Amino acid sequence: MSSGRQILSLIHRFIEFVARGIFTLAAYIGGPAESQPPIKDLTLLHSATTLAFKIRNKQLSSEEVVRSYIDRIKEIQPILNCVVEERFEEALKEAKKCDEMLKSPDAPSVQVLAKEKPFLGVPFTTKDCIAVANMKQTAGLILRKDYVSKKDAEVIRLMRAAGAIPLASTNVSELAMWWEAHNRLYGTTRNPYNTRHIVGGSSGGEGCIQAAAGSPLGIGSDIGGSIRMPCFFNGIFGHKPSKGIVSNDGQYPSAHSDDQNQLLAIGPMCRHAQDMRPVLKVLADKNAEILNLDDKVDISKIQFYYMEDDGGQYFVSPVDQEIKCAMRKVVLHFEKAYKIKATKIHVRKFKKSIALWLANMTSKDNKDFSYELSNRNGNINILWEFIKWLMFLSNHTLIALLTATFERFGIKHGSEQYTKLIQESKDLYQEFKDILGEDGIFLYPTHPTAAPLHHEPLIKAFNFSYTAIINVLGLPATACPLGLNKQGLPIGIQARHRIYRLTLAVAEEIEKGFGGWVPPLIVA
């Protein structure tokens, strides 16, 4: 490492250390930390696939299940603030219709239902950016506070067709462009393991409600880590598909360019690894056929590659030793259980993760983040909004204004720098394709630290690079929890390969070996 790089690294670490102390003090002044309430209803512990099995076999009624989750949401919402809008009455009506249909003498067989409606009667939740008919779709923007979706997003339509019942929508960061779920419309969502800490973003409310057992499964979207970071911070599983597999129709903000659309992906978020495969089959619709998700995977034939950090990217926190240690345990697990010797690799271009992602995120025609903050009605006056923010009059969060400013002076679409970085992105994709081949899995930290304190991401802005680079590569990636650290906060890793069934099989194996989601206290 050069002396200049060392100096920058030391300065950054010092700033992080001082800021951490300030945020910690502010958190303690704000009051004692809270944890999610204990689980009293054991129905909440079932996987979504188990609930579906029990409902279609009439071992549980859909109404019972929906009521259990409504009660749980009412219990956790005052503490965690994860839900922004509910449709409890409508969900109960739909659950009753489901139960009546199952009691009918003309009801389809259990086998037919398992195939055609695999989530019959199972409630689910989704982030506020994904349209649900007759519900608000604000994306955390005050200018959209009264916007009501006229129709379901394609993924919601597919989930309904599979028999699932939308229950509620969950909180996000303002316009889904930050990794803390906080906005001026609905406030801040708090981590179920320690409310002084963040839940991640932008699908932070969804990660939170899953971890707190307020929903059996959820739908999130991911353009730079918005599924995987909340999964990591909340200790659950999540999957970001590759480009084009799941429809982005009905997601807001929608992409402005092919580059952005290739970064964006909608996918499942859930407590149990076994739920990801069937949910993905529903979401992928006709594309599920090309994924061969039901093909058996022989894990002993998989080659594992891993990196413990990004190689020292500027202004990115070093990876916590507990996360590195957890990854080594995963590597050791596969070595002992399957005689697989993982290969540690070093990909130099990972040091440019942020620059590569920013290049792929650029928009033509001045449709930058200041355009989004106006609800796509011109561009906001950023300087004037900062002045209003100082007087507590702005409709926008500080981080949204900082993001708009950063983008205004950042990489320009079509510039020489842009062209160079786009080519480097393509070169990196080819490099990974050559490394992984047909049977390789890449293990990589999801994030360099466990969930920071509220507002602490302001001084760790680029830590999302660990997930963002995978969006640039366009690879499917699965977030896998690995228990709690010494502070009682979730940690984990992400696994990726272009063949879906490999990453999902590895996630299921990691759940078996390391326990997966850690539930709150259970009251017998």
Q: Which residues are the active-site residues?
A: 127, 202, 226
3-class DSSP state of 129: coil
Residue whose tokens read 């906080």: 182
Residue whose tokens read 């903050």: 373
User: What is the rounded CA–CA span in Å between residue 462 and residue 456?
Assistant: 12
- Bridge partners of 165? 123
3-class DSSP state of 344: strand
3-class DSSP state of 455: coil
The length of the chain is 524
DSSP per-residue letters across 224-276: SSTTHHHHHHHT-EEEEPPTTSS--TTBSSPPSSHHHHHH-EEEEEESSGGGH
Q: What number of CA atoms fall less than 13 Å from residue 432's CA on the CB side?
A: 27
**Cβ within 8 Å of residue 239, ≥6 positions away:** 227, 267, 268, 276, 280, 476, 477, 478, 479, 503, 504, 507
CA distances from 389 to 184, 246, 299, 350 (A): 11, 38, 54, 36
3-class DSSP state of 15: helix
Q: Can you give the C-alpha Rg of the chain in angstroms?
A: 22
State the CB neighbour count (10 A cutoff) for residue 345.
11
User: What is the rounded CA–CA span in Å between residue 182 and residue 397?
Assistant: 8
Answer yes or no: are the C-beta atoms of 199 and 233 closer than 8 Å: yes
User: What is the rounded CA–CA span in Å between residue 342 and residue 504?
Assistant: 18
Question: Residue 22 corresponds to which tokens in the numbers above?
Answer: 């300030």
State the CB neighbour count (10 A cutoff) for residue 303.
17
Answer yes or no: are the C-beta atoms of 95 and 186 closer than 8 Å: no
- Core vs surface per residue 405-437: b (16+ CB within 10 A) or e: bebeebbebeeeebeebbebbeebeeebeeebe
User: What is the rounded CA–CA span in Å between residue 444 and residue 454?
Assistant: 25
CA distances from 513 to 100, 118, 216, 326, 509 (A): 41, 27, 22, 12, 6
Residue 466 has φ and ψ, to the nearest 5°, of: -65, -30
